[in-house]
Structures are given as structure tokens and as C-alpha cells.
Structure 1
């Protein structure tokens, strides 16, 4: 059964903030030069070395501000309310967390997550089955990592991501093939770590802003 970020078990994971700074990924990971924790940057660099010749990781987003996280939650929640009139608050929270995490446990806010894909040597994105950030409704569930309604090339490319990223300690959020993280509460829960390593961090200064117990 898929564990969603809205699951109370995620919020129950304590955070032992390690204090690593946010750093910009270099241009080899794409023009976004996303901000991520140093440890995550190191793991992405190691994963890149394990890719077949001619392929590369393109990271389109890393750290996200609390304001941006709340904006995405509001936008997607509005879509869900329109699609499911009368939806309860609990169901809205659960369904929205398939696509965007509650702020308190958000891996992106902690600088612990990246949204990424694979590109060829010309910088063209490979077939991964859906575009990055396709919602479950837009993709009819094909955004789920294990979705069966994708072609063999997309499945092979997703499996390649899982091999190289899993080997360096990243975990996938199962409702989004593109979302991978390390050191956050979700990572801790699914790997059995006693604590998360990363809590919320402020991008403007790189200073840790505090964590919830």
C-alpha cells in the first residue's frame, strides 16, 4: 500500500537537523541550477556516474519556499474541490498529498528533494510516460512510478532512475515518478531511519529555520 505524505506516520518522524547548507547544482544537471542540501548534491553526482554513456540527469526543481509550497497546495486543492464537489477536509488533504506535500513535512521545503528526469546527449528528455508534474487526474494515474499504463521505453527509463538513485540512498515518492529525496521525514519512514536529517531551510540565507519534533 502506498504511503502518502499526509500519513500521520510521516509527521511523527523526529528531525535531527544536521545543518548542511543549501548549494546550487552545477549546470551539468540542467539550467535550473536548483538548490539542494549538500549531501543530496553529492548523491546526485554519484548517481550520474552510474548512468549509461550519453545519458544525464536533469533536475528541474529542488528547494521550494514555504510560500511556493502553500501556493501549489492551494491551486491543486481547488482543482480537487472542483472535481469532487463536497469533498471532506480529510479526503482533500489525502488526495492533494498525492501531488503536493503538506508544508510541515514537505521534502522540497527541507531542500531534501528533487524533481528530475533523464536526457540524452543533446539534452532531449527521454520518454518517462508523462511530463513532470502531471497530476493523477491529468495522467489517469500514469504519473505513479509503478503505473502499468506506460510504454516499455518509459518503464525501462523509470527502472533506470530507480537503480541509479536508489543505489545512492534516494527514495521515490510513489505517486510521482520524478520526485526523489534523501534525508527528509518521508525518506526516514520508508528506510527505517530513526530520524530525518533535514528540516525546513531558508533559501535566501542557507540558514536552518528550525524543525518540528
Structure 2
């Protein structure tokens, strides 16, 4: 771990997010379960999935070609000594469903008697419905910042649920350290400048070309629907 943390760049871009009341009540967020996301059409570009090289860490994640281009652009915007570490890209629908089922069970245990609609809303804070899932489309990455000693402290681990993290997984969570806040700002500046958007309940989730990206940016259609990896 480095002993000093980079300050957020001047003129830093705040990650663009769509707005609606958030379940946590501390901001306004459109969740992936919102019908305004699912109504966005997909004009499939047929871009291939490509493997990210070792400069993005050892995971060898699959992403669409234009997502890889934007990640390389973002990598070049980071302060010296820092790099993006991508832990996941494309996700098989079966894996997406497994995560949905597991987290939905956790939410149900926290909220006995919850109805199906509210369960879908709360579940989508952490995992997207399959029909609109950015990971299934190869459009999303889960990533963090790292230096020569490994991943940096961004306030929570990647994939910490709202319950596990006390809401600190939200990008704009107020109760994280100044150092983690600065690093999230560095991440947002690089990825936002490269044309990617954040899902604001998960500081680590950034995407391009999916329905959520289209909603946030005002694009008339998503570029990517569900993707099949090469055999």
C-alpha cells in the first residue's frame, strides 16, 4: 500500500447517474429494476468479447471491444503508480441468476413478508435483473484501483452488499474515509472521462454500451444485448 494517496484531479468529473429516490433514502438513483431501463431498445453492434490483458490484473476478464478501448483510455489517465484492476467482466446468465437468488434470499431474511415487486427493487441495488444485466451483455466491469502492492482501500471491498457495508458501497456514501473518497474521485475522473458510467449503489461497477449507460447518457438505444463468449 502506498503511504500517500493522490488527490482527486482538479476539474474532476462527477460520475453521471440517473435520478430517482433511492431505497436507502440518501440520494436519488435509478435502479436497474426500473422500467425506464428495460424500455430502452437494444441496437446490437455485434462487437466481439475480448480478453483484458495483464495490465488490468490477473482475472483475464471478457468485455466488449469498445469497453476494452475505454478501459485502456482510463488507465492512461490515472496518476503514476496506479492502475485499474478488473476482477470481473462478462458474466454467464446462470451465474447472474445464482447471484440474484442468493442475494434475494438475504434480502427476504432481512425483510420478512416483503412483496415480489419490492424484493426485485431492493435486490437490484446489488445485482441486476438478467434481462437488462450489463455484465451479461459484456458491457460492465467490476474494478478497483491498485498500486504495486495490490488493491487500495476504496471504503469497502468489491461486492460488499448494502447490508454488509452499511451503505458504504454506494459511490457517494458520506461515511467513508477521506482517503477512500479521494480514490473514488480518481476512479471516477478516469472512467468518466473515458465515457463509462457508474452504477451508483456499487462504487466498483462501471459500464459502457448497456441500457443503463444509454439511460444515463441519453443515447437512443443500447449498443449491447446479452453476449455469448467464443467457444
The alignment's TM-score, normalised by the length of structure 1, stands at: 0.95
Verify: 1:201 aligned to 2:227, yes or no: yes
Give the corresponding residue for 1:83. Answer: 110
Determine if the alignment matches structure 1 residue 99 to structure 2 residue 117.
no
RMSD: 0.6
Aligned partners of 1:84 and 1:139: how far apart in 2? 17
Aligned equivalent of 2:168: 142
What's the counterpart of residue 75 of structure 2? 48
- Aligned match of 1:211: none
Q: Which runs of 4+ in 1 moved over 6 A?
A: none
2:145 equivalent among 111, 118, 122: 118
For 1:164, what is the secondary structure of its paired residue? helix
1:111 alignment partner, SS class? coil
Aligned with residue 155 of structure 1, among 173, 181, 191: 181
- Match of 1:58, SS state, is strand
Corresponding residue for 2:195? Answer: 169
Match of 1:39 among 62, 66, 76: 66
Q: CA deviation at 1:18?
A: 0.5
Per the TM alignment, residue 204 of structure 1 is displaced from its structure 2 partner at its CA by 3.9
Q: TM-score, normalization: structure 2? A: 0.87
| Whole-Å separation in 1 of the counterparts to 2:182 and 2:219 | 29
Write the distance in 2 (CA, Å) between the matches of 1:28 and 1:189.
30
Match of 1:132 in 2: 158
Secondary structure in structure 2 of the residue aligned to 1:72: helix
Pick aligned residue for 2:38 from 2, 11, 22: 11
Deviation at 1:127, TM superposition (A): 1.4
Structure 2 unaligned segments of length 5 or more: list them.
1-27
2:13 maps to which residue?
A: none
Unpaired runs of 5+ residues, structure 1, are: 206-213
The answer to whether structure 1 residue 68 and structure 2 residue 95 are counterparts is yes
Matched residue SS, 1:32: coil
Residue 208 (structure 2) pairs with residue 182 (structure 1): yes
Instruction: Quote the Cα distance in structure 2 between the aligned partners of 1:96 and 1:11.
Output: 16
